[in-house]
Chain A
């Protein structure tokens, strides 16, 4: 029921709301869902996830603009690059646990950020601009409405994939690792391999979000790879509800809309507001919007939360 309403809303949304904004929300929702797969279901806090978004953005942009590849191949190239990078960073980071894992991912992401700052193909501080959207199956993607339905389809497919992953035996093992890692090990699971696989999957999907974002905005910038963006995706997941299916979607919608509304009104105070939401969420709403609503609903029908 909920799914049908959501799909219906997705199909008619661009007639009421500026399609580029909805596409931005979809890209960040996908990014947050990918991140939630790692934080919410595996219990790994990666503080450098923006690097996958940024990498895929650059690679996809480069493939579309310089190599003149068609859009699907461009998206594939970006996603592939993020997956490979995810494997490299993941296999280093899973050597440490808990709080160290967060610091390692952050530091490695910062290293890649510095590389992009200096590398010629990223255009440094100017970014990679003028990426063509091309056309797909005869549809001209330069038209926002055409592109919108492509982006919606990409998001739907990726969301479905994440759903399937969570409810698969693989997803159950990930949850077991989150709940009690030593027990998962004692049950005979090769925890390191499962963690790495979850990390790579999450990085790849974050990459898909980044590549799609480049296609939408026709540029890729350093901001996407900056640690501020990594913080934002944590915030989206936290606001929406960690470890819930729709949480990241709600969180990304709230945060992107808020930023969009506030950007020209309060200027640099946006950071202060984002930080305050962070503090407030951690202190009072740790289950996020979706998590708290579910708990409230359960209380109302008389179940224990």
Chain B
């Protein structure tokens, strides 16, 4: 068996893969946060809770309605997105003229409500979600076994991230979006319905979180608390990357997932704190974040 720095190849590659999987989740969630922040100027604290709701929607669909994984992958994000639109219209809408902090506080409250409700109904223990037949099993790559589902998570999330990037940077709709981010009143003067775009942006960001939740459902157990610990790591990722750039968010997310995975191999005790330590170092060297611009 070959070794890398005294670690068996098998274990090394396994953790690297896991790191990539986690990194894809970080990337999708921080991308959603960045898109929402760009347009609404609020940090969506409920992002982790919405990710959890996405996973639960898929699980409920499968368990009670017989909605399969693939349909769930489409329907659950739509539900979460619609829920997001509802939140934006009914609550966030009223806060734009106020300090940004109120948006954070409101979404924090929402996160507590969602988490508390699901904990109350389903308890804190996780619910298993079976991997669909097409994706169970593993590829034998010769030097390691690669579980098919992990490969799928990485491919699917990279695909979604790329599609989002393409939509924002290369299409007409994206151009409107960027214009509205830059100067909302001028954009509105050109006849673009900015309030609707704001609503849809929030819905889209939430749908991204929901999609990540469905992807995560078979990989980890579906539990009401799955989002709250993740969201704080994602916040650190966002601070490290800065929210100015779409590609920056994606790269930082994946990069940190890999760093975390490798830490698990070489110094497991630090694996839960390595992202935060990285954040502290980045703050010391480049306070605006790796891809951020100092305002």
Interface residue ranges, A against B (CB under 8 Å)? 45, 47, 92, 95-96, 98-100, 102-104, 106-108, 110-111, 114-115, 117-118, 227, 231, 234, 238, 267-279, 281-283, 286
B119 to chain A: which residues have CB within 8 Å?
A: 268, 271
B113 to chain A: which residues have CB within 8 Å?
A: 271-272, 275-276, 279
B267-295: contact bitstring with A at CB < 8 Å (1 yes, 0 no)?
A: 00100110111011001100100000000
B112 close to A271 (CB less than 8 A) = yes
B282 to chain A, nearest CB (A): 10
Interface 9-mer from B11-19, B142-150, B234-242? B234-242
B21 to chain A, nearest CB (A): 21
A271 close to B232 (CB less than 8 A) = no
Asked if B190 lies at the interface with its beta carbon under 8 angstroms from chain A, I say no
A104 close to B106 (CB less than 8 A) = no
In order of increasing CB-CB distance, the 8 nearest A-B pairs are A278-B109, A275-B112, A271-B116, A111-B276, A275-B113, A272-B116, A95-B287, A107-B236
Contact of A282 among B95, B114, B232, B233 (CB under 8 A): B95
Measured in the bound complex, the distance between the Cα atoms of B275 and A108 in whole Å is 10
Contact of B109 among A96, A115, A269, A276 (CB under 8 A): A276
B176 to chain A: which residues have CB within 8 Å?
A: none
A96 to chain B: which residues have CB within 8 Å?
A: 239, 283, 287
Asked if B192 lies at the interface with its beta carbon under 8 angstroms from chain A, I say no
Asked if B104 lies at the interface with its beta carbon under 8 angstroms from chain A, I say yes
A103 close to B102 (CB less than 8 A) = no
B232 close to A106 (CB less than 8 A) = yes
B233 to chain A: which residues have CB within 8 Å?
A: 107, 110
Measured in the bound complex, the distance between the Cα atoms of B95 and A238 in whole Å is 16
A283 close to B235 (CB less than 8 A) = no
A92 close to B238 (CB less than 8 A) = no
A58 to chain B, nearest CB (A): 17
A107 close to B232 (CB less than 8 A) = yes
A238 to chain B: which residues have CB within 8 Å?
A: 105
Given contacts A45-B104, A275-B109, A278-B108, contact A103 B273 (CB under 8 A): no
Give residues of chain B (182-218) contacting chain A, Cβ–Cβ below 8 Å. Answer: none
Interface residue ranges, B against A (CB under 8 Å)? 37, 42-43, 91, 94-95, 98, 100-102, 104-106, 108-117, 119-120, 232-233, 235-236, 238-239, 269, 272-273, 275-277, 279-280, 283-284, 287
A101 to chain B, nearest CB (A): 10
Given contacts A45-B104, A275-B113, contact A108 B280 (CB under 8 A): yes
Given contacts A238-B105, A279-B91, A279-B109, contact A103 B43 (CB under 8 A): yes
Contact of B235 among A103, A276, A277 (CB under 8 A): A103
B108 to chain A: which residues have CB within 8 Å?
A: 231, 234, 275, 278
| Chain B at the A interface: SS class | helix
Measured in the bound complex, the distance between the Cα atoms of B284 and A173 in whole Å is 26
Measured in the bound complex, the distance between the Cα atoms of B117 and A27 in whole Å is 29
New A-B contacts (13) at CB < 8 Å, excluding given A96-B239, A103-B43:
A99-B43, A99-B101, A102-B43, A107-B233, A107-B235, A110-B232, A111-B280, A114-B272, A118-B269, A267-B120, A282-B105, A283-B91, A283-B106
Given contacts A92-B283, A107-B235, contact A283 B94 (CB under 8 A): yes
Contact of A272 among B95, B100, B112, B276 (CB under 8 A): B112
Given contacts A45-B101, A278-B109, A282-B102, contact A269 B276 (CB under 8 A): no
B236 close to A103 (CB less than 8 A) = yes
Interface centre among B42, B94, B239 (most CB of A within 10 A): B239
Contact of B277 among A99, A111, A271 (CB under 8 A): A111
A276 to chain B: which residues have CB within 8 Å?
A: 109, 113
A185 to chain B, nearest CB (A): 14
A153 to chain B, nearest CB (A): 33
Measured in the bound complex, the distance between the Cα atoms of B276 and A278 in whole Å is 27
B239 close to A95 (CB less than 8 A) = no
A227 to chain B: which residues have CB within 8 Å?
A: 232
A99 close to B100 (CB less than 8 A) = yes
Interface centre among B100, B114, B233, B273 (most CB of A within 10 A): B273
Interface centre among B101, B236, B287 (most CB of A within 10 A): B101
A110 close to B94 (CB less than 8 A) = no
B111 close to A275 (CB less than 8 A) = yes
Measured in the bound complex, the distance between the Cα atoms of B236 and A103 in whole Å is 7
B43 close to A282 (CB less than 8 A) = no
Can you give 19 A-B contacts (C-beta < 8 A)? A96-B283, A99-B100, A99-B101, A100-B239, A103-B235, A104-B283, A107-B232, A114-B273, A231-B108, A234-B105, A271-B119, A274-B109, A274-B112, A275-B114, A278-B108, A278-B112, A279-B113, A282-B105, A283-B95
Measured in the bound complex, the distance between the Cα atoms of B294 and A95 in whole Å is 11
Closest to A115 in B: B273
A47 to chain B: which residues have CB within 8 Å?
A: 104
B120 close to A268 (CB less than 8 A) = yes
Measured in the bound complex, the distance between the Cα atoms of B102 and A270 in whole Å is 22
A243 to chain B, nearest CB (A): 12
Closest to A279 in B: B109
A110 close to B116 (CB less than 8 A) = no
A275 close to B116 (CB less than 8 A) = yes
Measured in the bound complex, the distance between the Cα atoms of B280 and A108 in whole Å is 8
